[in-house]
């Protein structure tokens, strides 16, 4: 028998558990998109840097080519002016045609030499032009990907914000942060700076694209933690994986980076005793978790 809805019939509000489930689902989707966006942004930054370096090389080459073309033009004009008219003038005035021929030969040799230089410069410039064309094409592709991911991110974030607002209006903060974190474990050496840093961020909110000073996404937290020991890492979990040395799970040390999920879209800092500090997802806060709380994908160690 079909249930019918009539005007004025009250629609049941989603339960706390259902809202939380929806928020978790949308939040996980958002963290994946955010990390893809971060990765696309880092790649775009690298390509822009390559384009700038190429432009820096192209400018002086173009100036040299232009100067040689101008110089060759002057030589050609001089040869033209001193050509047939010069021969007739030399004969009429009793001058030596041989002298004029010598001058024309010198001009011709100069022009030949400069034409050779121009060809060499044109070849070098052509090679750089080809590279620049390839980079410009890549830039266009990367900008398109970044734009598409930004649109997806905006759409999912809007849904997360809507669900979170509904939840908090009905039930209060989703996961109010604990304020009892104790003191950071003693690990010694440079790693202590990394551990102390992430420990100091416990309880601070997740924010997509966040890299401090008091809002974080996962790779933003890791990036800033490693800056404490002078190591620069990209703002992307996957690229942080590619930028660090592999460490087996059995050889983990405090300060190492732990990566989660097969697509490496999430990471955190290992602080010892099977514990990781990470920035989880929208609506949540930087927290300590067991290394087994999410699918383990690997670990990395920076060079410090």
Catalytic residues: 218, 266, 278
d(CA 72, CA 271): 69
Q: 229: how many CB neighbours lie within 10 A of its CB?
A: 17
Q: CB–CB of 270/299 below 8 Å?
A: yes
What is the residue whose two structure tokens read 């598409």?
148
d(CA 275, CA 67): 65
d(CA 278, CA 285): 9
Q: What is the CA radius of gyration of the chain?
A: 33
Q: 85: how many CB neighbours lie within 10 A of its CB?
A: 10
Q: Which of 224, 208, 209, 213 is nearest to 277 (CA)?
A: 224
Ranges of H-type helices in the chain: 16-81, 84-92, 97-171, 191-200, 218-227, 237-242
């Amino acid at each position: 028998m079909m249930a019918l809805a009539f005007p004025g019939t009250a629609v049941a509000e989603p339960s706390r558990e259902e809202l939380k489930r929806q928020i978790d689902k949308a939040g996980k989707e958002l963290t994946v998109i955010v990390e893809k966006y971060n990765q696309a942004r880092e790649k775009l930054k690298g390509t822009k840097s390559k384009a700038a370096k190429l432009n820096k090389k192209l400018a002086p080459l173009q100036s040299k080519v232009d100067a040689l073309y101008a110089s060759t033009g002057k030589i050609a004009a001089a040869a033209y002016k001193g050509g047939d008219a010069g021969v007739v003038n030399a004969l009429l005035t009793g001058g030596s045609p041989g002298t004029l021929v010598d001058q024309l030969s010198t001009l011709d040799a100069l022009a030949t030499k400069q034409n050779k230089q121009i060809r060499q410069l044109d070849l070098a410039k052509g090679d750089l032009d080809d590279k620049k064309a390839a980079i410009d094409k890549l830039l266009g592709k990367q900008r398109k990907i970044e734009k598409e991911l930004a649109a997806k991110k905006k759409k999912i974030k809007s849904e997360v914000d809507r669900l979170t607002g509904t939840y908090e209006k009905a039930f209060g903060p989703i996961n109010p942060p604990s304020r009892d974190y104790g003191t950071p474990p003693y690990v010694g050496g440079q790693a202590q700076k990394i551990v102390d840093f992430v420990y100091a961020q416990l309880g601070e909110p997740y924010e997509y694209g966040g890299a401090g000073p008091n809002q974080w996404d996962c790779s933003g937290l890791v990036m800033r933690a490693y800056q404490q020991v002078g190591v620069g890492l990209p703002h992307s979990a996957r690229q942080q994986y590619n930028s660090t040395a592999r460490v087996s799970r059995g050889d983990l040390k405090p300060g190492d980076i732990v990566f989660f999920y097969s697509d490496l879209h999430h990471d955190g800092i290992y602080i010892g005793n099977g514990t990781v500090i990470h920035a989880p997802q929208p609506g949540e806060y930087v927290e300590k978790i067991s290394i087994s709380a999410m699918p383990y994908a690997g670990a990395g160690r920076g060079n410090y």
